[in-house]
Structure 1
Amino acid sequence: MGLTLVFAQEIENTSTSFWLWDFLGRLHPLIVHFPISLLIIAALLELISLRNFQSKYRAGISLLVLIGSLSAIISAAFGYQLAQEQGTSGSTLDLHQQLGIATAFLSALLLFALFRVSKNNQKTRILVFRSVLFLAAIGVSLTGHLGGSLTHGEDFLTETLPWNQEQSEIEKTPINLALYKSELNPEREMKLIGEVRMVLAHNCYKCHSGAKIEGELRLDEKAFAFEGGENGPVIIPGNPSESELIRRINLKKGHKDVMPSKGQPLSKQEKELLALWIEKGAPWPDNAPQQSIYRVAELAPRRPNLPNPKNGLSNPIDLWVNDYFEKNGLEWNEQIDDRTYLRRIYLDIIGLIPSPEDLNEFLEDPRENKRTIWLQELLDRDQDYATHWLTFWNDALRNDYTGTGYITNGRFNITDWLYKSLESNKPYDQFVKELLNPDEKSKGFIEGIRWRGTVNASQRTEMQAAQNVAQVILGLNLKCASCHDSFISDWKLEESYAFANIFADSTLEVSRCEQPTGKMAKTKILWEELGEIDSAASRSEKLKQLAETLVQPANGRMYRTIVNRIWKQMMGRGMVEPVDEMDNEPWSQDLLDWLATEFVASGYDLKNLIYLIGTSKIYQAESISYPSPDLILAEDYQFKGMVRKRLTAEQFSDAVSQMVFPLFTDQDLKYNPEELNRKQSSQVGFVRASLVANNSFLTALGRPNREIVSTSRDSQASLLQALELTNGTKLDSALIGGAKNWKSNYQNTESLTEALYMSALNRKPLEKELAVAKAALGESPEPDQIQDFIWAVILLPEFQLIY
């Protein structure tokens, strides 16, 4: 901890100093730990000795006080030298200085009291000594904490608290930088400006807006933003490297000039966005356009007529895809073989790898329509299906087994309701009704997370409910419009509050950028043409009205949203991307609209939707690999087939548990479907990863913390994942256990290699692969060699990807 004491008011600051003084100043971080630790320990020992001043600890206390007090005074001098060298300033340092001076004074007084009490331990002298010791211990603790704030940031400790983690995360919105790197047309330019202003609003307005101005800098209006602050302009259009704004947001946390000075720093994407905006000339219109420049998707359902059958195609999805291919001059990819298809549907439907026995049975199945039959059989494995799709819905509905809010009863688990809903294939309209108008089992989704009261206006539980429902059910981002009028859409602050009011027990007061306006919110659904909500009704009645209103077939947006989400899960990319922004243009409006209306017509049956996709020719075609995720999200994206997908954290974990050794035990289970007293359709023999609490292994492989809605996972491999798979103890333990089992079952390298390849990759090894294995392992491998061999196989792209 830092204990920097500044006496600059008394000593003239010079531009250069003798090297020895600078050297001594830099010893401050070392010296400062003596008074912090020694005086606190001395105070604790003194507490133990309250009843007996001449206890066995007396000599030790005296020595600790002597060394601690002297080092506190020395640290003050060294801290002054350090501050002079670095030129630090600020309110935190001022308070640090004042407490440091007081602590140094108390330390000197403590030395005097120690000297007096050692000569004569009268009650009065003992009382003075103890009082000064306790005050010095408190002083050095507080001063040390402030020193830590100077070196690591004001929220170095508090940022780890769960309510502060959520506060920073909930405001972060994914940014598609690739969209703005090419030449900007008017629409893209307005989107760029909107995203920039959103970043400024969520990170900078608290100190640099009309409500509060620090450093004479305002960033909420164009004229003020380009005028700059007390030190001149902070934005130099066309030149990010010379722009003070860019310099400051890229400083390390704790630096006196870093922006934002409080709270979380900007994300890498946000920093790149601001730099790109300035590089593009920092466009900012003088006045908002009179007409909207944002695309707004149709709300009502639309059922286009199916194209005429061609080329032997019968699945309606294929008819629309073929129509799209013909219009765009694209060719169909080759169909995948049976092995690849079986592995694909196993992973997509139940999240598991087919066993060698399953594969052999499928390959030998003589039925012409065996793919359709096997797909339906997997969908009929209700518990396996529910266990796998639990992951998807846990992410989307912000449901987890442990985490922020559960200890304080400010969050509610919906796992049992969710699992049973998936197992019974509950119709989606009823599924949504029970989320919006919940009972005790399903109320967790709209209840939000209750932090320490209301963290801020845009994160109160009613607003969380509005944001989550809009995002998950309707594919709409209301987070920006929960703080101010949106910069990325036409949604207004008052509309967000009117929607949030449905979830409130009493009328909400509208706050703009966390400042109360004195205006009370109305109560309205987001699209008034769907119906009205009685503002005078109780909360339970309003929720009932909302549930009935939103799920009606007239709300085409809701059903396009779920169809788009399921399509992405199966095909690797949504027809609309991002899936939470359903106003964006789909690559095929006709296919999206037809599927949404077919979903309603089929009774809101999610399994039927998955079946329709899984039996299509396009699902059974070869997958497409892209060198960069930017290409998948590009504005000019053309659909050519399924995007190659990486196994999720849960799929990878289950695959390892299935073929190597269980990664999790019964002790890790947080929800056990067997407790339902129903016969499982498949005894997998290990604990499925979707049923355990998050941990470092699953986090490294991409499982989110679920304190906020997560509707997409990053499919790219990361450095954290590489480190976990290379050095992590969880996988290493499984490999050790698995190697012993494989050694006991297979005595020679050839049989072991063939069995391992069949279990992991659903194929026999190539001659070259078998030769490499024999060369590396010898004729009879030992467990440590087998361990390395299994590790090498599960790191293969063929194991980690769904082809």
Structure 2
Amino acid sequence: MFPKQNKILRSHSKNLFALVLLVCMQPGLAFGNELSDTVSNFWLWDFLGRLHPIITHFPISLLIFACFLEIFTLGKFQHPMRQAIRLMVIFGAIAAVFSAIFGWLLSSRQGISGDTLDLHQYLGFGTAALSVVLVFFSRKTEAKPNTHFIQIYRGLLFLTGFGVGLAGHFGGTLVHGENFLTEVLPWNEEMQAPASLTVNLANLGSELSNTEEVELAANVRAILAHNCYKCHSGAKVEGELLLDEKEFVFKGGENGPVIIPGNASQSELIRRINLPKNNKKAMPAKGKLLSADEIDILTFWINQGAPWPDGVQQQSVYRVADLAPRNPALPPAKVGLNNPIDLWVDSYFEDNQLTWGKETDDRIFLRRIYLDIIGLLPSPEELEAFENDTNPEKRTVWCEQLLNRKEDYTQHWLTFWNDILRNDYTGTGYITNGRFAITDWLYTSIRDNKPYDQLVKELLNPSEKSKGFIEGIRWRGTVNASQRTEMQAAQNVGQVILGLNLKCASCHDSFISDWKLEEAYAFANIFADSTLEISRCEIPTGKFAKTEILWEELGDIDSTASKAEKLRQLADNLVQPANGRMYRTFVNRIWKQLMGRGIVEPVDEMDNLPWSQDLLDWLAVDFVENGYDIKRLILQITSSKIYQMESFPVASPDLLLAEDFTFQGMIRKRMTAEQFSDAVGNLAYPLFDSAEVKFKPYELIPEAQIGTSIPRASLVANNAFLTALGRPNREIVSTSRDSQASLLQALELTNGGRLNTALLKGGEYWAKQYPRGDDLINALFSNALLRSPTEKELGVGRQLFGETTEAEEVQDLLWSVFLLPEFQMIY
């Protein structure tokens, strides 16, 4: 069952049942309600779910074809096709059952929901059940071909055929949209105009004022953006036709102009959008045709001479967040809500008809803040002191105390910063001096709680110790233009500091935003010693980039200045309070680190809609007004009422990215690789020795034992164990880690030599310290889970031990406790 423990279990076969009981009795393991553990996240279930679209075609084709053939046998039941029909029914029923099971796996594993899905599932399971009954009566008619059985069989067959067809229709609706079947019908050709249209042609005369021209042209841009940009913009160009800028709209494509101002009837654009959808030259070629109102506006516009005043801005099909800061007024004060964060959350709850959850108990809260603030487990003695603390503000006070444990705080948060700043101790670039570590500078900055604006300035206008972030990796051999170090700097600064994806725009105009290739190069030019030539999809264009910040509102960069001076100007301009986006990006990252999900998700795409714009904006402004104090921000969040509520499990990470996400409180999180390693090292035996520590802020004790300092995993070079548990290689920026268990993690925890060694040595220590089984079980549960074992757990544990405790038996117990969701999760 568990390969790594095979040798142990063979020698302790009497303990196998006890071990399985101990693990499986815990809430959330194996077949419990929690989907965050290894077993229920096994990859096979996801794989089988994704077979649903393939296998579902079998019952649709076989059962419906069986119905069709059955029609030919209505006059004579014992027809030559009878055996073929029976085979179709049998195999169709088998396929229907498996299709229903796989479909259920797909919807539950992928977090799919909705009324259409419910109908699809009801019909799918109903059809599967009917098909099983159908097979039964098919066999009955074979054994006793009387009229009664034949009538029931045929009724069930046609009902099953209808059901499988209807279920298939709703399945198609889920995939292609609710109008997929009906939108091609003649009476559905005319559709409503989009809400973005604001012009009323009935109110316009033959002579247009300047204001009317601007409004008309703006509506034209909106129509083009929503219907044509996907094939005719910088992101994708078909037929050499671009419709996203004035110059290109009137230039036309490979066959010449598509617009003849003043003559809509002779304009190719109008001809194409009026063609029926089944015509291969109809435009748009993909998706819905333009509505009658949209066609009328374009026709009117061209007949008016296609006016395009300078006041018309390019229409974006993407949401674009404001750059400037915004400081919304706090909601009215409420009794029991002393933290401003809670006032915003309460307002959100009221707007969404949600209620506050239950406050978590002292044990869960203390474990939570220890892991979140310093990355370590609290001791039983610390829990006792916390529970006996009578200060009504003790939770805030204890958070402050943890923040003041400078070394512990720094060594925990070093992991967060190493990930997002792409800093590591070994790896690509270090051997060839094509990459520079920033660990010394970073460690000191975290420990001293350097203000965030100053930290960013030192990253952008670096000293020798902090230059590694914008210097990037100088890859050996030939690299593409989008991976040259100047472009790496632009991409990394955009992603980490501004919550912006410039990777697409580094090669061509972005497919996922409005950012253009020229803008990405202009930003990258700030980090260059000389002016960069623009390459589009690896082909030099002969054009040279400007030197500009991505938003002109933030100031200018002197293109003639030296690289050092350009970086100084960039640093000064980017960190100014007017750059609200930068500070919203940062507070959103810290919120996610503590609460399990950002106010905006993903955290690198800050143009996405936040679940609370007011909270995000207020947090960012408050952060700036209070000195860019990172520890104060962490304290502000951890001392809030919403942070102290019970956490929520999430069935699938996809649900956290859903556009209709509803915030209810903290999302239950899995320990990081570093947190788990440190916990195991403290409780059993250190997983890493001093030789693996690549950064030593102080002299580590050479042979760490229980109760003494151990090498913190954040200071250790990456290895197979940490990789399996989720640490990235840091050759690229990593701003989020997958908190779900993986197959690789399961294999490492059950078959990995590093953990096995730590458990064996830990077993020797515990067996020596606690000769009596009951004492050992109580001590282990107290230290690992901050509670006493239940009677059932104690009874199962006793089955492991004889008269005295043995190291291998203790190893089994340690392993089973460390695999518990209660241990691995931050509740």
How big is each residue's C-alpha offset from its partner over 1:122-177, in whole Å with a ceiling of 9 and x where there is no partner? xxxxxxxxxxxxxxxxxxxxxxxxxxxxxxxxxxxxxxxxxxxxxxxxxxxxxx99
Structure 2 unaligned regions, length at least 5:
1-109, 114-173, 180-193, 197-223, 241-252, 256-284, 299-312
Pairwise CA distance, 1:550: 0.3
Distance 2:653 2:229 in 1: 23
How big is each residue's C-alpha offset from its partner over 1:568-619, in whole Å with a ceiling of 9 and x where there is no partner? 0000000000000000000000000000000001100000000000000000
Q: Does 1:521 align with 2:552?
A: no
How big is each residue's C-alpha offset from its partner over 1:618-644, in whole Å with a ceiling of 9 and x where there is no partner? 000000111111111111000000000
Cα pair 1:576 1:585 within 8 Å, conserved: yes
Q: Does 1:323 align with 2:347?
A: yes
SS at match of 1:787: helix
Cα pair 1:417 1:442 within 8 Å, conserved: yes
Q: Does 1:720 align with 2:725?
A: no
Distance 1:766 1:597 in 2: 48
User: What's 1:763 paired with?
Assistant: 787
Cα pair 2:700 2:709 within 8 Å, conserved: no
For the aligned residue pairs, the C-alpha RMSD in angstroms reads: 3.3
Select the residue among 422, 425, 435 that pairs with 1:398.
Answer: 422
Q: Which amino acid aligns with 2:545?
A: A
User: What's 1:543 paired with?
Assistant: 567
Cα pair 2:693 2:717 within 8 Å, conserved: yes
Structure 1 unaligned regions, length at least 5:
1-175, 211-221, 225-280
User: What's 2:22 paired with?
Assistant: none
Q: Which amino acid aligns with 1:515?
A: I
Alpha-carbon spacing, 1:428–1:290, altered in 2? closer, same or farther (3 Å): closer
User: What's 2:685 paired with?
Assistant: 661
User: What's 2:247 paired with?
Assistant: none
For residues 300-311 of structure 1, what are the structure 2 equivalents within 5 Å? 300-311=324-335
Select the residue among 728, 735, 739 that pairs with 1:704.
Answer: 728
Cα pair 1:191 1:488 within 8 Å, conserved: no
For residues 721-736 of structure 1, what are the structure 2 equivalents within 5 Å? 721-736=745-760
Select the residue among 347, 357, 361 that pairs with 2:381.
Answer: 357
Distance 1:520 1:306 in 2: 48
User: What's 1:605 paired with?
Assistant: 629
User: What's 1:153 paired with?
Assistant: none
Distance 1:563 1:223 in 2: 49
Cα pair 2:647 2:666 within 8 Å, conserved: yes
How big is each residue's C-alpha offset from its partner over 1:649-686, in whole Å with a ceiling of 9 and x where there is no partner? 00000000011110011111100110699xxxx99511
Distance 2:231 2:762 in 1: 51
Q: Does 1:594 align with 2:610?
A: no
Distance 2:713 2:576 in 1: 36
Distance 2:177 2:443 in 1: 48
Pairwise CA distance, 1:324: 0.3
User: What's 2:303 paired with?
Assistant: none
Pairwise CA distance, 1:723: 0.2
Q: Which amino acid aligns with 2:538?
A: E
Q: Which amino acid aligns with 1:424?
A: D
For residues 283-682 of structure 1, what are the structure 2 equivalents within 5 Å? 283=287, 291-452=315-476, 455-674=479-698
User: What's 1:161 paired with?
Assistant: none
SS at match of 1:511: strand
Cα pair 1:671 1:692 within 8 Å, conserved: yes
For residues 92-171 of structure 1, what are the structure 2 equivalents within 5 Å? none
SS at match of 1:519: strand
Cα pair 1:194 1:488 within 8 Å, conserved: no
How big is each residue's C-alpha offset from its partner over 1:283-310, in whole Å with a ceiling of 9 and x where there is no partner? 5999999621100001000110100112
TM-score (normalised: structure 1): 0.65
Distance 2:176 2:612 in 1: 24
Distance 1:640 1:633 in 2: 15
Which stretch of the first structure deviates more once superposed, 498-507 or 776-785? 776-785
Cα pair 1:351 1:651 within 8 Å, conserved: yes
Distance 1:459 1:480 in 2: 12
Cα pair 2:700 2:711 within 8 Å, conserved: no
Alpha-carbon spacing, 1:514–1:327, altered in 2? closer, same or farther (3 Å): same
Q: Which amino acid aligns with 1:388?
A: H
Distance 1:726 1:335 in 2: 35
Alpha-carbon spacing, 1:631–1:776, altered in 2? closer, same or farther (3 Å): same
Select the residue among 745, 749, 755 that pairs with 2:769.
Answer: 745
SS at match of 1:537: coil
Alpha-carbon spacing, 1:516–1:194, altered in 2? closer, same or farther (3 Å): same
SS at match of 2:632: helix
Pairwise CA distance, 1:365: 1.6
Distance 2:609 2:178 in 1: 18
Distance 2:774 2:789 in 1: 10
Which stretch of the first structure deviates more once superposed, 706-715 or 308-317? 308-317
Pairwise CA distance, 1:184: 9.1
Alpha-carbon spacing, 1:285–1:550, altered in 2? closer, same or farther (3 Å): farther
Pairwise CA distance, 1:178: 7.5
Alpha-carbon spacing, 1:415–1:483, altered in 2? closer, same or farther (3 Å): same
Pairwise CA distance, 1:384: 0.7
Pairwise CA distance, 1:192: 13
Distance 1:177 1:654 in 2: 33
Distance 1:796 1:651 in 2: 15
Distance 2:417 2:755 in 1: 26
Pairwise CA distance, 1:183: 4.3
Distance 1:177 1:569 in 2: 23
Distance 2:425 2:366 in 1: 32
Q: Which amino acid aligns with 1:665?
A: D
SS at match of 1:758: helix
Select the residue among 788, 794, 802 that pairs with 2:818.
Answer: 794
Alpha-carbon spacing, 1:561–1:429, altered in 2? closer, same or farther (3 Å): same
Pairwise CA distance, 1:193: 11
Q: Which amino acid aligns with 1:652?
A: F
For residues 75-86 of structure 1, what are the structure 2 equivalents within 5 Å? none
Cα pair 1:509 1:516 within 8 Å, conserved: yes
Taking CA–CA contacts closer than 8 Å with sequence separation of 6 or more, which of the two structures ends up with the larger relative contact order? 2
TM-score (normalised: structure 2): 0.63
Cα pair 2:111 2:655 within 8 Å, conserved: no
Pairwise CA distance, 1:799: 0.4
For residues 677-692 of structure 1, what are the structure 2 equivalents within 5 Å? 685-692=709-716
SS at match of 1:777: coil
Distance 1:422 1:638 in 2: 33
How big is each residue's C-alpha offset from its partner over 1:526-573, in whole Å with a ceiling of 9 and x where there is no partner? 000110000000000000000000000000000000000000000000
Distance 1:290 1:512 in 2: 22
Cα pair 1:300 1:556 within 8 Å, conserved: yes
Cα pair 1:659 1:759 within 8 Å, conserved: yes
Alpha-carbon spacing, 1:298–1:504, altered in 2? closer, same or farther (3 Å): same
